[in-house]
Chains A and B, each alone.
Chain A
Amino acid sequence: MAKIIIFTEQNQYFYVYIFIALLKLKNMKEISLVELENRFQEKVDAEVRIEPNDWMPEEYRRTLIRQISQHAHSEVVGMLPEGNWITRAPNLRRKAVLLAKVQDEAGHGLYLYSAVETLGADRESTIDDLHSGKAKYSSIFNYPTPTWADMGAIGWLVDGAAIMNQVPLCRCSYGPYARAMVRVCKEESFHQRQGFEIITVLAQGTPEQKAMAQDALNRFWWPALMMFGPNDDESKHSKQSMKWKIKRLSNDDLRQQFVDVTVPQAELIGLTIPDPDLKWNKETGHYEFGAINWDEFWQVVEGNGPCNHDRIKARREAKENGMWVREAALAHAEKRAARKTA
């Protein structure tokens, strides 16, 4: 607000004029903001993609940065529980396929970090947030993979759940995220199939193998259900995210879909879902299932799961132990550039 007071006869009018002008400018700014938000929402409603240089509400940008970077972190942290078995895969084919799968996950992480950079976020900053515990990642990767059968369970259940979440995101409002999801989904279906194949061979193998498979299912079933997040009425961000088409289906809907699809798969290969309350409901056409242990969910999300510490430690050490490599590469590039111009 202008503090210049010019003492003239028309002083007060001049001052008033400036006041009104400034007020008009302020209103203009507000109207513009509202107008921008309206136009933005219209685009979203009309399924027009939002691209990096388009105007977007700050909260939209912030939400996307959080969601996409969390997704990227999940892919990268997710390399660890499976990477755990590459050197011990039971045959050459399984070793190669597992290597390829984990490599894909690294690639997915990259596609997603790439998308988050388009929003003005810095990849390394989001990664440092992961390492410091500030940023979250999918809680499922905080569970251990003590047996080979877990490679099957992860492909089948975890990738299965991820696909369910990701397919709708191919239509999300933000262009780079949607396109990254299309690429991810293409590669993801191979992941689930190979996981299911692993566990099928076990379930139909020797008694020891069958026991291994059932044990993996027992340990991963409930954490897989928790992947879909809290119940919708507990989920803070859901409503706005749905409005902005960053989230296309509700947590509970997706979870129900997953159960309905997966139970018959387990039955097909002779494994038992570890839920005594699981029951087919003829009227609704869906499976009823037991209560999720939300205490466990929140504990794991908050960092107290079985592997949180180890996972973050591994990722942090990879970066720390590799800093000298990154620095060397930069130094060398600079030297080369200097020699060129010399």
Chain B
Amino acid sequence: MNSLFEYILRIGDDSLILGQRLAEWCGHGPILEEDIAITNISLDLIGQATNFLTYAAEVENAGRDADKLAFLRIDREYKNVVLVEQPNGDFGDTMVRQFLFDAFRKIYFERLQHSKDEQLAAIAEKSLKETRYHLKHSSEWVIRLGDGTEESHNRVQNSLNVLWRYRTELFYMDQVDEELIKQGIAVDLYSFRTEYDSFVNSILDEATLVPPANNWEFGGGRIGKHSEHLGHLLAEMQYMQRAYPNMEW
């Protein structure tokens, strides 16, 4: 197994699947200004996915390109965390999912931009600028909704109760990470777990939200074991390439 290839897939697939989810909001946002904001974030993520998957294909060196990786793998071959494949739900669900993800990615890219792998470092640096903006947007919304009306508070507390369990998978590490950390390429995720928890809790505090008591962790995406949601998402995303194989668009 090519560890670097696996590693890049994980990052790239996170961006791809989350970008795909956010794109579903287009034309259905709560207000026009927010429609634009969400689509902007989706566009950034699709851009990141393209960068990471292009590099992954290069590293794999088996004749695939970013599109083949994005559209022609089977579900077991996608390495995104299950958090990002969760359905959009309502605006609160989307913002909580986004917030838990962005808070991780900001610190992650801050570290990854110092990777000994120049290409990864470069993509991380570019992605970091965007991620800072995404995090500002999602954390402010979590606060607005948590500390808004009674209805918004209840809704978003519920979102948090449901999505909280998925955040730990963001810190999943295995032999792929170990190998690459030794080479100075990958980031030691445990090293910033406390920083992440502390930041997330401070925002939840300001939002008057309470993390659920149940701390049972849930994951599997990083090794291709996904929730039921990914299959449907892929069926939609891959449709054209599956229905019209081997054509240019």
Contacts and interface: CB of A to CB of B under 8 A. Distances in A.
- Check A-B contact in the complex, CB < 8 A: yes
A25 interface: no
A90 B72 CA distance: 11
Which secondary structure dominates where chain B touches chain A? helix
Interface stretch (B209-217, B218-226, B232-240): B232-240
Contacts of A319: 30-31
B228 interface: no
Interface stretch (B35-43, B73-81, B118-126): B35-43
Nearest to B35: A106
A322 B91 contact: yes
Query: Which residue, B43, B66, B155, has most C-beta atoms of chain A within 10 A?
Result: B43
A260 B143 CA distance: 55
B122 to A, nearest CB: 19
A326 B33 CA distance: 11
A90 B71 CA distance: 8
A209 interface: yes
Contacts of A23: none
A162 to B, nearest CB: 18
Nearest to A99: B43
Contacts of A113: 32
B152 interface: yes
Contacts of B33: 110
B47 interface: yes
B149 A327 contact: yes
Interface string B21-54: 0011011111111111001101100110110010
B151 interface: yes
A87 interface: yes
A96 B35 contact: no
Interface in A154-198: 198
Given A90-B241, A90-B244, A103-B43, A328 B151 contact: yes
Contacts of A328: 144-145, 148-149, 151-152
Interface string B145-177: 101110110010000000000000000000000
Contacts of B148: 327-329, 331-332
Contacts of B53: 92
B29 to A, nearest CB: 7
A109 interface: yes
A303 interface: no
A83 B24 CA distance: 8
Interface in A91-118: 91-96, 99-100, 102-103, 106-107, 109-110, 113
B179 interface: no
B236 A79 contact: no
B20 A96 contact: no
Contacts of B144: 328-329, 332
Most A CB contacts (10 A, CB to CB) among B27, B90, B248 go to B27
Interface in A300-336: 314, 317-319, 321-329, 331-332, 335
A110 B32 CA distance: 7
B155 A87 contact: no
A102 B46 contact: no
Contact of A318 (B23, B30, B70): B30
A50 interface: no
A69 to B, nearest CB: 13
B230 to A, nearest CB: 14
A215 to B, nearest CB: 14
A56 interface: no
A293 B128 CA distance: 54
A88 interface: yes
B46 A91 contact: no
A322 B237 contact: no
B85 to A, nearest CB: 13
A69 B45 CA distance: 33
28 contacts: A76-B32, A88-B240, A89-B240, A91-B70, A92-B49, A93-B50, A96-B43, A99-B39, A99-B43, A103-B39, A106-B35, A110-B36, A148-B240, A148-B249, A205-B247, A205-B248, A314-B28, A318-B30, A321-B28, A322-B31, A323-B30, A325-B34, A325-B91, A327-B149, A327-B151, A328-B149, A329-B144, A331-B148
Given A321-B30, A328-B151, 20 more contacts: A79-B27, A79-B35, A86-B26, A88-B236, A91-B67, A92-B67, A95-B23, A99-B43, A100-B43, A103-B26, A103-B36, A148-B249, A209-B247, A314-B27, A314-B28, A318-B30, A321-B90, A329-B144, A331-B149, A332-B143
Interface of B: 20, 23-24, 26-36, 39-40, 42-43, 46-47, 49-50, 53, 66-67, 70-71, 90-92, 143-145, 147-149, 151-152, 155, 236-237, 239-241, 244, 247-249
